[in-house]
Amino acid sequence: MRNNAIIAEAAASKDVYCEIAGRRWMALGNFLIGCLWCVTVVGIPFGKQFFKIAKLALSPFGASVR
């Protein structure tokens, strides 16, 4: 039980650090690049992947994107 609490505390401190380090800027950049890729039909699959990365940038550590 104690190990789970330590891991949860470490993940929370990483979340705070990443929020300070620019998690929102990374998500915004990936979102804008995804929009640019979606301008062409060929780039739509790449744009979708950038949108997934932007979603992952805003989620806490340990999350997965499908």
Instruction: Tell me whether residue 48 is in a domain.
Output: yes
Number of domains, the chain: 1
Mind listing the pLDDT tens digit for each residue in 3-25? 666 666 666 676 666 666 678 88
Distances (CA, A) of 37 to 3, 12, 21, 47, 48: 43, 33, 26, 5, 9
The one-letter amino acid code at 49 reads Q
Q: What's the pTM?
A: 0.65
What is the reported pLDDT for 65? 65
In sign, the C-alpha dihedral spanning 45, 50, 55, 61 is: positive
Query: Residue 54 belongs to what domain range?
Result: 2-58
- DSSP assignment, residue 60? P
Instruction: Tell me whether residue 64 is in a domain.
Output: no
Instruction: Tell me whether residue 40 is in a domain.
Output: yes
Instruction: Tell me whether residue 65 is in a domain.
Output: no
Mind listing the pLDDT tens digit for each residue in 35-51? 999 999 999 999 999 99
Instruction: Tell me whether residue 66 is in a domain.
Output: no
